[in-house]
Structure formats: structure tokens, C-alpha cells
Amino acid sequence: MTTILERPTATEADPGHTPRRRPASRSDHPLWFLVPALALLGVFFIAPTVFNFVYAFTDWSSFKTEISFVGLENFRDLLGNGSLISDLRITVIYAALVAVFQNLFGLLLALLLERDTRVNRFARVAFFVPVIMSALAVGYVFQALLKPDGGLNAMLSFVLPGEVSVAWLGSTTWTVVVVALVHAWKWMGLSMLIYLAGLKTISEDVLEAARLDGASSWQVFRQIKFPLLAPAVTFNVATALLGSMNGFDIVQATTEGGPGGSTELLNIFIFRTFGQGLFAQATTMSLTLFLVVAVLAFPVIYLLRRRERVL
């Protein structure tokens, strides 16, 4: 373990000579300095990921003492089960909706609060508060608000003529949209922050030149600001899309996957299976989710990065 960090030098290609003394600056970073970091990485990141792969091929459950390998059986069972495909479909739809809403709201807020006035600074903080709130708390608050006799209907009944008693979380078609809106509401402050940072990097000269040329504010946004925000768009879309693929807490708190399984994300299905004591099957599902997220992540990030290249 006393290996020294080094670049391959001519010495090694030339074995006839004794190695030259290396400059002192090269030898003051021994490789074993990395060991603590690597150990943490190994225990908390690499080992769980590896076990996620390993357990997917076993019959680990709460019912038995032994764990034995069963090959691809879990995958066969899972593919034969219609729930996986339908839950994956719901998960992808949910993630796409969240990505759209979260970026739309985030961008609008960023544009609205772009100038550094006192009011804007306060508003930015206010919109960032949901980001640091517990997701479960957000879910339960909205569940209470959206109940047929909840706060939203009470407000609507006050404003509109007649009694409003819409079950906002009761439709098997639209509830997934409502829940995606709640998810986007929680995280829009983060997107706003990143878009704001992006807007700050745009040179004032460019904007002034555009204005002198008589560009309307819409043209300035469409032709200058939005293209120059491409790196922020990449980050925001990728994190929103891939983060909500792994969504669980908000949906669990608002609908528990209902009504009629129409908001059952794959993670809720995994949670349910794990709760039944079928640990290996749950692991197989989470491995499937991991693979789907990975397969989705690469093309999405690649496409978004290609957009940046026109800059």
C-alpha cells in the first residue's frame, strides 16, 4: 500500500537505468490517502449497488432462513406480471409531467424574479421554502387541501356560486397530473434558483445591444435568453425527470398509488412487495427501475448536451 501516485515516465520504458529521483511534489500524495474515501464509497454506494444485483437472483424473503440463488426466476415472474409494465408506464408519464411542470414553473419564476429588488429577494426565499420542506409533509398537506371537503374546495365554494365538491385526487385519469403538479410545486424553487443563476451569466452587453436594435422583450427571451440558458435546462430537465422516476414520498402521502392503481409508481409497488416480505422480488424490481433510469438517462442527457453545442 505504499504505491505512489505517478505518471508513467520514460524511466519505465528504459529499464537499463536506475530511476531518476522524482520531484518531491509528485510523492506527497500517497495513494493510500484515498483509502478512507474509497472505503466509504465502497460501503455506502458500491456494496448496496452490487447487492441490488446479487439479491435480484435469489429467493431472499422474510419467511425463510436460507437465501439461495434462483437464477432468472424473479425476472420471469415479474415480466409475466402485468403490474410491472403498467407501473413503469405510470412512472414514465409521471416523470415526464413533473419535468415539464417543474421547468415551466421554475423558468417563469426566474424570469419574474430576475431583477434584484427587495421584494424579489423575499419572493425567491418564499418559493424556495417548499424545496427544504419534508416531501411527506408536503404530500399530507396537499392531501388535506385536495379532499372533497378540503381547503381548495372551500375556497372555490367561497369565490364561485354554488357548492364545489370536486374530488381532486379521485379521478383515475387526472389524479396523476394533480400529483405531478404537487411534485413540481415542491421542487420548482430549485429549478428557479438554477435558472436565475443561468440568467445572471448572460452578459448585459448582449441584452443591451438587442434592446438598441429594437428587440421586444419576447424576442430577447426567445432569441437570446432561452438559448443561453441551455446548460441550466439540461441540468433541470435531467434532474427533474430522473429524480421523479424515483419518486415515492409525495405520491405515497397523497394517494398511496390510488385511485384504482392509477398513480402507482414503480417505487410504491416495490414498497408494497417489500412489505409483503418478498425481499428478493422487491430487489428485482428496484434493479429493473435502476436499469430503466440508466437507459433513459443517457439519451436524454446526450440530446440536451447536443443542444448546448450550438452555443
CB of 77 to other proteins, least distance (A): 7
Which of 27, 49, 172, 219 touches other proteins (CB under 8 A)? Answer: 172
Q: Is 5 a residue that touches other proteins (CB under 8 A)?
A: no
Q: Interface with other proteins includes 51 (CB under 8 A)?
A: yes
Stretch that binds other proteins, among 19-27, 61-69, 89-97, 243-251 (CB under 8 A): 61-69
Considering the rule CB under 8 A, would residue 148 count as an interface residue with other proteins? yes
Among 227, 231, 243, 261, binds other proteins (CB under 8 A): 261
Q: How far is CA 21 from CA 7, 14, 44, in A?
A: 14, 15, 39
* In the complex, minimum distance from the CB of residue 100 to other proteins, in angstroms, rounded to a whole number: 25
CB of 275 to other proteins, least distance (A): 3
Alpha helix ranges (H) inside 160-257: 175-200, 204-212, 217-219, 226-228, 230-245, 249-254
Q: What is the largest CA-CA distance in the chain?
A: 96
Distance separating alpha carbons of residues 45 and 228, to the nearest angstrom: 35
Report the distance separating Cα 257 and Cα 136, nearest Å. Answer: 14
- Provide the minimum distance between the beta carbon of 55 and other proteins in the complex, in angstroms, as a whole number: 8
Torsion over CA: 110, 115, 120, 126 (sign): positive
Under the binding rule (CB under 8 A), the answer on residue 62 touching other proteins is yes
Q: Tell me how far, at minimum, the Cβ of 54 lies from other proteins, in Å.
A: 6
Q: Which three cell numbers stand for residue 284?
A: 428485482
- Preceding peptide of 30 cis, ω within 30°: no
Of the pair 131, 136, the CB lying nearest other proteins is at 136
Contact 267, 289 (CB under 8 A): yes
Applying CB under 8 A, which of residues 63, 158, 218, 298 lies at the interface with other proteins?
63
248 neighbors 134 (Cβ within 8 angstroms): no
Using CA atoms, how far apart are residues 256 and 232, in angstroms rounded to an integer? 33
274 binds other proteins (CB under 8 A): yes
By CB under 8 A, is residue 279 in contact with other proteins? yes
183, 102 Cβ separation under 8 angstroms: yes
Report the residue from 34, 40, 50, 129 that binds other proteins according to the rule CB under 8 A.
50
Closer residue to other proteins in complex, CB, 25/173:
173
Print the binding letters for residues 178-207 with other proteins: x by CB under 8 A, - otherwise: ------------------------------
Number of H helices, E strands in the chain: 17, 0
Beta bridge partners of 4: 30
Binding segment for other proteins (CB under 8 A), chosen from 179-187, 203-211, 257-265, 291-299, is 257-265
Whether the Cβ atoms of residue 245 and residue 91 lie closer than 8 Å to each other? yes
Interface contacts to other proteins, rule CB under 8 A: 3, 47, 50-51, 54, 58-67, 77, 81, 83, 148, 167, 170, 172, 256, 258-262, 271-272, 274-281
